[in-house]
Amino acid sequence: MEPSRDSLKVKLFADGADLASMVEMASKPFISGLTTNPTLMKNAGITDYAKFAKEVIENIKDKPISFEVFSDDLSEMKEQALKIASWGENVFVKIPISNTFGESTKEVVRYLSFNGVKVNVTALMTIAQVEDISKSLNPDIESFVSVFAGRIADTGRDPLPIMRQSLTKLAGNKKTELIWASPRELLNIFQANEIGCHIITATGDILKKLNLVGKDLDMYSLETVKMFYNDAKDSGFKL
């Protein structure tokens, strides 16, 4: 069956840290939410975390947006999360699965979730982590669990079995949605869709490739041949 963008049921979340791009993405009907993280913000040259986040929230009010805590202290994570959550009704607070010492944040997640904070637990890569954190989520409060399928694939492992099992482990959490995080190619969107994953995040470079979905492969092949030919010609190559 030929791939079709119209057949996608998985929700697309745009991942980035540029205000103008985030606002543009939020305006598109096929984008259901947005995420960012400290690394993307650093790469974008952002130095005032709160100022940037509040500007984003001021411009995007009708779609979920995830902002991440950055403390390594578990108690301070709670304080930061409560502050971030207070910035908007559509805000989800990203809590890493552990701090840099490998200490689990499940009690932080439990405290926040049972105090009404919508959390996005992030940087998970194992079924054990998913199973463990699922027990800390308030079943009456919306939450996301972000499994980094792309990074799993970077290690030579097939992420699909892990993502399928993660869906099973979270099935009892009716208000929890699984995020396929860190995709590496457009195909991952269709893989996530096929297994029934709720959400997939994608950066702009991957989302731009949505225009290629269903493209005639013979035409694409010819365009590629023309590109190589024209680039060689423009470079003045001679033998």
- What is the CATH code of the structural domain delimited by 5-213? 3.20.20.70
Give the model confidence (pLDDT) of 181-197 as tens digits.
Answer: 999 999 999 999 999 99
pLDDT tens digits for 223-235?
999 999 999 999 9
Res. 149: pLDDT tops 80:
yes
The arithmetic mean of pLDDT across residues 106-121, rounded, is 98
Mean pLDDT estimate for the chain: 97
Q: What is the pLDDT of residue 204?
A: 92
Please state the rounded mean pLDDT for residues 130-150: 98
Confidence (pLDDT) at 2: 75
pLDDT band at 5 (very low <50, low <70, confident <90, very high): confident
Q: How far is CA 115 from CA 127, 153, 231, in A?
A: 26, 35, 59
Nearest CA among 58, 61, 12 for reference residue 33: 12
What are the residues whose beta carbons fall under 8 Å from the beta carbon of 4, sequence distance 6 or more?
213, 214
pLDDT of residue 33: 98
Closest CA to 165 of 201, 117, 111, 129: 129
Chain segment 25-64, per-residue pLDDT in tens: 999 999 999 999 999 999 999 999 999 999 999 999 999 9
- Strand 119-124 to 199-203 pairing: unpaired
**Each residue's pLDDT tens digit, 10-27:** 999 999 999 999 999 999
> In the chain, what percentage of residues exceed pLDDT 70?
100
Q: What pLDDT is stored for residue 4 in this prediction?
A: 81
Q: How far apart are CA 39 and CA 57, in angstroms?
A: 19
pLDDT mean over 154-160 = 98
**What pLDDT is stored for residue 35 in this prediction?**
98
Query: Which tens digits make up the pLDDT trace of 95-111?
Result: 999 999 999 999 999 99
